[in-house]
Structure 1
Amino acid sequence: MKVAGINTKHPFNLYYNGGEYVKICGTQDGYFPDFGHHVANEMGGIWLHPIKLLDGFWLKLTDTKRNISVWSRADGFTSEPWGSRFQYDHGLSYIPIAMERTQFAPEQVKGMTAGYELHHYGEGELHLKVELFTRTDLRAVWYSDEVGVRKGAGDQATVLNPREVLVRDPENDWFVQVGTDLPGDQLEVGTELYGPEFTAGAGCGIAFRTELTIPAGESRRFNLFVAGSYVSAEECADSYRQLAANHQELLVEKQAVYNAVADRAKLTIEGEADWNDVFTWAKWNNQWLIQKVDGTGRALTAGGPTYPWWFGCDNTYSLQGVLAIGDPQLAKDTLNLLLQKSEEVNGNGRFIHEVTTLGAVSNPGNTQETAHYIAFVWDLFRWTGDEELLRRHYAYCVKGIDWLLEEMDPDHDLFPSGYGIIEIAGLNMELIDSAVYTAKALQSMAEMSAYLQDAAAESKYSELATRCIDSINRSFWQEDEGLYADAVAPVSDVAPKIDYLVSLAEGQGVTGYREYIEGLLAKATNRGTADSADHGWLLNKNWVIVTPMEAGIAEPDKAHRALDNMRNDTFIGKYGTYLSGTFQQGTMTISTGVHAVAEAANGNADAALDLLNRMRRSFSRVLPGSFSEMSPDYGCVVQAWTIYALAVPFIRHFFGVEPFAARQELKLRPQMPSAWSGKACTLERLIIVDAEFDLSLTEQDGVLTGQIRNDAGWTVTVEWNGQTISSTEKLIELNM
């Protein structure tokens, strides 16, 4: 399966290829322009995190008889799950050469390879001068300067032979070895040597040159090999030898990995080929974002190429989807890395927000993500049954609750203050997402305590959860709007922020916002309560006001009203749920995904599918086979939490999958959208710990039929329309 073609409206769109070690990012025409803001103009190229290896590589062809030279620029692009292919059928001007470049990064080798095939489609012999250029740029990931890690004055090259060059940073043990099997021995190396693009950085240019004679109708092949190390020249050389000797076998191995990813949690909805393909690509996209760094860990990064490091809140969403698609080890690895960094940097229960691949924590954690982390620990345990992992994280979760309800909740109303997932300067107050996930965290702590047989803790957390939930439904609920508020705060906290909030709105082109916010202020003041009393505020109608329904915290009547009141063009646009109903300036897969989960969790499968169908409109808009961070077409070209937006509604709600691995129990509460009525809906190789299940369900006229393969003999319970069946049979037949 592949997705082909350059988007002709934006011919310089990015692509992203990833092994677990090396990431490759350039434009779909085969070039490597400078771009990026974290490390200014350096976010593309070839990265072996935490270091960059190359700015890029380029090929120049010269027809020596006619003295025509062309820098090869692709006019076709094919996105493969395992890498990329570039076609140069018409982009080589008057030289009768068709060319394809195929590139990939092996999963477990610190390097990458690009293979070229040149085909002479003209007449007679073609005499070519071939020049393969690379530009090194050894430097560390963003935020390295702040922790005292800096690159040396310039890359230093050592010619190993005419077809292999080793380059190192003079101040650090950072190495890149570049080579080729291009015949000949012409080589040029120099700091002032560039290809067709002048790239930033104090790197080194390398040009491998040769002359080829190609008879009519024949082809020639050669490869570029790039290997790196942040440890030693010896390790770099070893990786290079693996690539040069075994690149074909490594590609076969990589393709096998991606075939296995496709076969896990394999979704097939009859008559819905587009959704089946999109779901498969979302799983592959997730694999691209795994980043392994020796000595630091292996975890899921947030997005490529702009956020190629690890985040707290991104992962407490993303890993819910990762569990659903059958990769519990990645979920464990990721959460363990984040826990380790949280303990090192905070130690008080606060869960980190952002850690680079160098291991540097740039933000020790927003309020919302500590609560969300605690809630996810219980979720992870239900899917893995790993009691050792539960006990390790539980100890930090206890500290996390104390941090939330003591340091971050000085007025002791169970609503911790501080930034949530919406990081807008000035909005560091008692926010809806932080409150909701704190309630969910308290529920999870009660569940964990019960499982660990700590009755006193269970009672304590249960009582706090009940109080917190009641308070949310009382304090955040806006009866006149039929919605939950963005925040709770006294008038005295909001009044000084009016000018700033108005400036944000006006900056987004929103008119009439001053009148709106002053109206809210007047209404709160006219209630006659003290300026220090809390009020609920719908300041921006941010998407997180849907979280009470997503997390099951909203009272049923309020959930029904709020969801009804959000099914309109204030909150929902062509591509899904706006980040802000007031601004309507952006949409993300996470805003749409959480909204879809909220609908599905409250029995509204059709509304959930409508949101996901809107999100699907942005698929392949920039990178064929992927969703962008911002819908439809900007930000990162691949984003981790998209797997939450798809796998959680589909697997956890449409198929209704609820495991309790430690008890070998699987509960199914399916709810199929009406658009799928009468269609066979299958989910093959649903993996929970070491058990596999195949689900085949069809709903028609209120009757559920199908089969469940249960080779592990777990207790499988199916609930449907008030009916319940429970069985340990290896093949369970349904007719409910």
Structure 2
Amino acid sequence: MLTITATVTGLMPGAVRAAPGGAGSVVPSVVPELSETTRLADRRTVVSGDRMYQVGAADGSYPATGWHIRGEMGGFWTPPVKLLDGIWFAVDGQWLTATRFTNGAGYTRMAFPQGVERTDFAPDGTRAALIGLRFTGPARTVTLTVQAHSELLPAYPWGWTTPGAGDTNRPDTGAFDGRNLVFRDGGYAALVGSTRRPDGHRLGAGMRGPREPAVVCPEEDPAPPRCDDGPFGRGTGGELTYTVDVPANGHTVWFAVAGGDGGAGPAAADLATALRDPAKALRDKIASRRAVAAYTTVAIPCDPLLARSVAWSKQNLADSVQQARDLDVFASHEGRENPPPVGTVPRARWFGAGWPDYPWIFATDGEYTAFAAVAAGQFEPAMDHLRALRDISDLVNARSGKVVHEVTPDGQVYFGANDDAGNTDESAKFPSAVALLWRWSGDDRFRDEMYDFSVRAMRYVLALDADRDGWPEGLGNVERPGMAEEKLDVAVYTIRGLRDLADLAASRKDDATRQWATREADERARRFEREWWFPRGVSYADSYGTFQRHWTGVTPMETGLSTKDTATKALDQREKACYTGEFGLFHTGTGPTSAPAGNPGPVCDPVVSTVPAERSTFSLNTAVMAVAEGNYGRLDAQRRYTTGNARIQLDPAVWELPGAMPEIAPSPDFVANIDQGFLTRSSVLQAWGAYGVLWPVVRQYLGVDPDLGRGRLAIVPDSRTTVSARDIRLGRGSADVAVSRNGRTVRVAVDVRVRAEVALGAVLPPGVSTVDVRLDGRPVRHSTVDTNRGTEVRVATTKGRHVLEVRW
């Protein structure tokens, strides 16, 4: 029996625990559900496990979705194979259309007017999805009809590649094995079945529930707002019927979808495993998401929206974890070639970038997402993501050190081979991601495992300097016409990557590498402001000697490379209407331009650019801006950007999928996803936006800065923010932190449960000096240091419970 209400009690608001040190604040224990009743047919949904996910609509339908394989990116997928376009249910001949949709932590629910509730989830570790139909009383007998339409095809090739999906996708066949629908296409197989034996079955070409006859999407736009199958679809259908006796207290019928690229035998085994005890599988799923929720539970009295965004962002990251087996690695050179594989990666695990069109392995996405992951306590998937990048890169790039850009879960490397032009920044960011995870986890084995590749990555980057001016060539995050060969973000991340590599080398006593990396970083840092500042733009050049107002102009502040005076000028400029809209930072700001379209917005500088503005607000752009503001203690300004990302995730007036942070916010140059056709939307769930929520709260509000590889931990929160958090994961332990202020006194209460030398402190408000510093009620010696965040007061202590009071 499906006992979702009882099971999810722990996910409801109200379960609280006092903050550490008796500070009096409380934090919610886990994530509540979020529900929506409007425009359900227009809202995409995502239900994911680490080996299976489905994308549909909130009314229980499955419109043709996405553009990589046009119209085929929705439905049921087990990487690297799609199984079904969708599954539809009817009660007594009436197809179910939801009137209420609810998103939970690891599951979704839909309510139907026929007295039926549907719960969807995907158990982790198995290639199966489960659907529970709960029939409420009164006692009755109903006829239940289930239709499924297959679409067995791989994640690659895509619609426009050589060959394309239209060239390679073969017709599916359907069968009935006495209990289940069985679909096949060569070695691909999909099964649909239930805990009950059906009364009857049918096989046929359609079987799309209420969407018969199907509307097939054209290969090119214009397309209807909603269609049912992509132009390359070769699926088939099947139907199962059941007689269900519903008692007065209700009854649940479970269904499962299973399959993969190993044939019908393994698919049948996965189906049987999923259906063995679905209710327990649901309890296990929710328990796993409680574990996710238990780390970094925060309360921010002055900004409860941001606290809720922290809770949901942790779940968004967990939703994004994917796995695949036996990736046959080859470089397609942007889909133009199809050579034999150069090798096989037995297992890969990663943070999928975005759903439905980017659930794959991306370097830049994973490297940004790593900062959110450590703040959320999700070390392991971030580590595995870097391992996957290393393993695939070493195969396809013959151990050159270059990091691949984009990889589908069958091993196709779309971009990022040695003879591709970029993305140079992704190789430069790799050592920084390794160092980040080492500092938070204290895991020397992980550092040692990734060290050789990190060294090779930075040596590869520095070799990309044909003119020998010190700035590597190659693409960065922005790929737009008119940019010079050397990009700002590449230069910035190269300096940071060298410094992080030097830190890793020092910890391993590799003095030669430490000295080389330090020397190279210092030389570039010494020249950076002089060579990259663009004074007429009151910002940095986007690429060497050019100014186009791209969001990457914020990266010097995001990494803390800028001096405080320069950062103040640049951040002030980026906060203006030329660069920032309702939900955050534009991709490309507005101003004078020679582009034919002209300038559609205000003017904040006199520079004439060669490109048009692009006033689309990506959640990553806004995240980078939020982090940049926080690095310089500008928390009041930062709130505009943390709120922007939180709203597109949690504001019912804005969200598409409640609780999911999308790729792009509604913007002057980007129509809201929900108002676009299903073939052209941006991602409904994108992992990297969590960077702009979790990192500002944990690293900047709470000031948690571990260096556990060396047995050190700093907790230096900002004194202007009342905030508390418990169970911030640190190595094999954790810490609670609570910050409160009363007049001219800030109180920092901690409970540190990891072995470390602890530096406990606070960032003072601007313009004040300390009068009295007490630790655990007693006066204590302290030090002060000026940082980009402001003047920090610090005292030395140890693990355990402590209360620091600083009065000025």
TM-score (norm 1): 0.86
Q: Indicate whether 1:658 and 2:705 are aligned.
A: yes
Which position in structure 1 is the counterpart of 2:382?
331
What residue is the counterpart of 2:82 in the other structure? 52
Q: Quote the residue 1:559 is aligned against.
A: 567
Q: Which residue among 436, 440, 448 is the counterpart of 1:383?
A: 440
Distance in 2, Cα, partners of 1:238 & 1:643: 36
- Secondary structure of the 1:480 match is helix
| Match in the other structure for 2:8 | none
Contact 1:138 1:151 in 2 (8 A): no
1:156 and 2:196 are equivalent in the alignment: no
Deviations 1:701-726 (A, max 9, x none): 35321321123342110232332211
8 Å contact kept, 1:366–1:420: yes
Contact 1:305–1:636, Cα closer than 8 Å, also in 2 = yes
What percent of counterpart residues are identical?
A: 27
The superposition leaves residues 125-145 of structure 1 with CA deviations (integer Å, 9 ceiling, x where unpaired) of 966443111111111003377
Match of 1:350 in 2: 402
Q: 8 Å contact 1:17–1:82 — kept in the other structure?
A: yes
690, 693, 706: which one aligns with 2:732: 690
The 8 Å contact of residues 143 and 362 in structure 1, kept in 2 or not, is answered as no
Task: Determine the C-alpha separation between the residues in 2 that align with 1:271 and 1:454.
Answer: 47
CA, structure 1 residues 386+213, in 2 after alignment: closer, same or farther (shift >3 Å)? closer
Picking from 140, 148, 165, the partner of 2:154 is 140
**2:369 counterpart (318, 322, 330):** 318
Rate the CA distance shift 1:467–1:544 in 2: closer, same or farther, 3 A: same
Gap change, CA 1:391 and 1:285, over 3 Å in 2: same
Match of residue 591, structure 1, among 586, 610, 621: 621
Q: CA shift at 1:157, angstroms?
A: 3.1
After TM superposition, give the deviation of residue 39 of structure 1 in Å: 1.1
Contact 2:254 2:278 in 1 (8 A): no
Can you give the 5+ residue segments of structure 1 that lack an aligned partner in the other structure?
A: 63-68, 90-96, 489-535
Aligned partners of 2:143, 2:512: CA distance in 1, in Å?
Answer: 79
CA contact (8 A) 1:324 1:648 kept: yes
Q: CA deviation at 1:419?
A: 1.4
Aligned residue among 175, 196, 202 for 1:188: 202
Q: 1:646 corresponds to which letter in structure 2?
A: V
Greater alpha carbon shift after TM alignment, 47-56 vs 629-638? 629-638
Are 1:625 and 2:682 matched, yes or no? Answer: no
Matched letter for residue 100 of structure 2: G
Check whether the contact 2:661–2:687 (CA below 8 A) recurs between aligned residues: no
Greater shift after overlay, 181-190 or 262-271? 181-190
Residue 547 of structure 2 corresponds to which residue in structure 1? Answer: 538
Aligned-residue offset at 1:120: 6.0
CA distance in 2, matches of 1:100, 1:369: 45
Cα displacement string for residues 200-253 of structure 1 (whole angstroms, at most 9, x for unaligned residues)? 4222211112345768x6744322211113224332222111111211100000
Counterpart secondary structure, 1:617: helix
Q: Cα gap change, 1:241/1:126 in structure 2, threshold over 3 Å: closer, same or farther?
A: closer
User: Where does residue 601 of structure 1 map in the other structure?
Assistant: 631
SS of residue in 2 equivalent to 1:468: helix
1:575–1:616 Cα contact (<8 Å) kept: no
Equivalent positions of 1:432-451 (< 5 A) are: 432-451=488-507
The 3 A distance-change label for structure 1 pair 41 and 729 is closer
What does residue 236 of structure 2 align with?
Answer: 204
Q: Is the 8 A contact 2:475 2:487 kept in 1?
A: yes
1:79 Cα offset (Å): 0.7
Q: 1:653 to 1:143 in 2, by over 3 A?
A: farther
Q: Distance in 1 between matches of 2:384 and 2:523?
A: 34
2:646 maps to 616
Q: Which moved more, 1:417-426 or 1:106-115?
A: 417-426
Q: Does 1:297 align with 2:297?
A: no
Structure 2 CA distance for aligned equivalents of residues 298 and 730 of structure 1? 35
Aligned to 1:527: none
Q: 2:54 corresponds to which letter in structure 1? A: I
1:283 and 1:568 map into 2 onto residues whose CA distance is: 31
State the SS of the aligned residue for 1:131. strand
SS at match of 1:487: coil
Which residue, 117, 123, 145 being the options, matches 1:100? 117
CA, structure 1 residues 350+214, in 2 after alignment: closer, same or farther (shift >3 Å)?
Answer: closer
Q: TM-score, structure 2 length as denominator? A: 0.78
> Could you tell me how far apart the structure 2 residues matched to 1:13 and 1:428 are?
40
Aligned to 1:521: none
Q: How far did 1:169 drift? A: 1.5
- How far is 1:694 from its partner? 1.1
Deviation at 1:425, TM superposition (A): 4.4
Q: 2:740 is paired with a residue of what secondary structure?
A: strand
Q: In the TM superposition, what are the counterparts of 1:248-647 in structure 2 within 5 Å?
A: 248-270=279-301, 272-294=303-325, 295-346=346-397, 347-364=399-416, 365-406=422-463, 408-427=464-483, 429-488=485-544, 536-539=545-548, 541-582=549-590, 583-620=613-650, 621-632=655-666, 633-634=672-673, 635-647=682-694
Instruction: Decide whether the 8 Å contact of 1:291 with 1:300 is kept in 2.
Output: yes
Aligned partner of 2:745 among 665, 684, 703: 703
Distance 1:433 1:271 in 2: 34
Q: Report if aligned partners of 1:137, 1:204 keep a CA contact under 8 Å in 2.
A: yes
* Residues 329-357 of structure 1: CA deviation (Å, up to 9, x unaligned): 11211101111111111121111111111
How far off is 1:151 after superposition?
5.8
Distance in 1 between the 2:565 and 2:296 partners? Answer: 34
Q: CA deviation at 1:548?
A: 0.6
After superposition, give the CA deviation of every residue in 1:84-128 in whole Å (9 maximum; x if it has no partner): 111112xxxxxxx3221111111122101111123467xxx9664
**C-alpha contact (below 8 Å) 2:492/2:556 kept by paired residues:** yes
Contact kept in structure 2, 1:371 and 1:434, CA below 8 Å: yes
1:13 partnered with 2:43: yes
Which amino acid in 2 is paired with 1:597?
V
Look up the equivalent residue of 2:487 and give its one-letter code.
L
Instruction: Report the Cα offset of residue 696 of structure 1.
Output: 1.6
Letter in 2 for 1:564: D
> Residue 126 of structure 2 aligns with which residue?
109
With over 3 angstroms needed to count, the CA separation of the structure-2 counterparts of 1:210 and 1:393, relative to structure 1, is: closer
User: Residue 671 of structure 1 corresponds to which residue in structure 2?
Assistant: 718
Q: 1:220, 1:270 → 2: CA distance?
A: 43
Is the CA contact (8 Å cut-off) linking 1:143 and 1:356 kept in structure 2?
no
- Residues 219 and 711 (structure 1), Cα distance of their counterparts in 2 relative to 1, 3 Å cut: closer
Q: Cα offset for 1:578?
A: 0.9
Distance of 2:739 and 2:490 partners within structure 1: 37
Task: Give 1:670 deviation, angstroms.
Answer: 1.2
Q: Does the Cα contact within 8 Å between 1:713 and 1:730 map onto a contact in 2?
A: no
Q: Kindly report the root-mean-square deviation, in angstroms, between the aligned alpha carbons of the 2 structures.
A: 2.2
Distance 1:244 1:388 in 2: 39
CA deviations 1:159-194 (Å, max 9, x no partner) are 221x31322222x2x221211245642111233444
**Are 2:297 and 1:246 equivalent residues in the alignment?**
no
Indicate the residue corresponding to 1:716 in structure 2. 758
Residue deviations 1:429-457 (CA, integer Å, cap 9, x gap): 21111111111112122222222223233
Contact 2:296/2:726 (<8 A) preserved: yes
SS at match of 2:436: helix
CA distance in 2, matches of 1:221, 1:462: 63
